[in-house]
Chain A
Amino acid sequence: MLLLARKLEQEIRDHGAKDYPHECCGAMLGTDGEAAEREVRALFPLINRRDDSPRNRFSITPEDFRAAERAAAERGLDLLGWYHSHPDHPARPSEFDREHAWPWYSYVIVSVDGGVPKDLTSWQLEDDRSKFFPEEVVPERAASQGKQV
């Protein structure tokens, strides 16, 4: 389960809308808790380095990766995963996404249809790399667990 506060979700949507018709991308920083629950506490928007094909590809270079790592460390957070947008395409990982994914990370995808953000989903790569499994995205913990985002 991925805890993603509405404010942060809106920032991802806004980034997708801003960069449309190109794919946007960025890092998600937060805490990786027990019981398969992660909480995103901050975003680290990045520049899509795929100048040659930004409408259907995104790339985060090792230098940008290290910048995201430093940002997480400075905040005392973990680098939980990455978000990117799919302009005029469903919020489902493609075969290209699968081929290039790393295990463990959460991958948030937002579809942006005609410049309007629509569905937002999250996924993790199976350990055998065969496919992604969906990760539930919730805006806050259930009341019975106390703290709200």
Chain B
Amino acid sequence: MGLLQQGGNKRMAVKVMIPTPLRQFTGRQSSIECNAATVGEALGSLTATFSDLRRHLFTEEGKVRSFVNVYLNDEDIRFLNKENTPTKDGDTISIVPSIAGGSSCDGK
């Protein structure tokens, strides 16, 4: 195993956990392994491989949807460096749904 380092351009071996509602788009795999330097790169790699995931994870503007929560190990990336959060070898990225809805379009 080579040197462990955070950030920079070195891609790290990470695992992305796929929630049940999205497994139909990953050949029923519950986790995907990839090499990525950041969380954003891992999500990009994921959606490049499984393109049907893209519309459920990202808005048309390319931002992570508000009801898609992304954790690096046990930490919400919103409280780290968001998609620019660097990864380390062996990290786990989890996609955890928020569930929301409501009866009308009035309000937010």
Contact A84 B56 (CB under 8 A): no
With A53-B108, A62-B69, A102-B21 already in contact, the answer to whether A87 and B103 are too (CB < 8 A) is yes
With A89-B103, A95-B105, A102-B21 already in contact, the answer to whether A59 and B98 are too (CB < 8 A) is yes
Residues of chain A from 72 to 105 with CB closer than 8 A to chain B in the complex: 78-79, 82, 84, 86-87, 89, 93-97, 100-105
State whether the Cβ of A25 lies closer than 8 Å to any Cβ in chain B. Answer: yes
Contact B100 A57 (CB under 8 A): yes
Contact A56 B106 (CB under 8 A): yes
State whether the Cβ of A66 lies closer than 8 Å to any Cβ in chain B. Answer: yes
State whether the Cβ of B102 lies closer than 8 Å to any Cβ in chain A. Answer: yes
Contact among A61, A95, A127 for B52, CB-based, below 8 A = A127
Total chain A interface residues with beta-carbon distance under 8 A: 35
Minimum C-beta distance from A91 to chain B (A): 9
Contact A84 B96 (CB under 8 A): no
Q: Footprint of A on B, CB under 8 Å?
A: 19-24, 52, 55-56, 66-67, 69, 76, 96-108
Contact A23 B98 (CB under 8 A): no
Minimum C-beta distance from A75 to chain B (A): 15
Minimum C-beta distance from A32 to chain B (A): 9
Q: Among A50, A87, A95, A96, find the residue whose CB has the most chain B CB atoms closer than 10 A.
A: A96
Minimum C-beta distance from B100 to chain A (A): 4
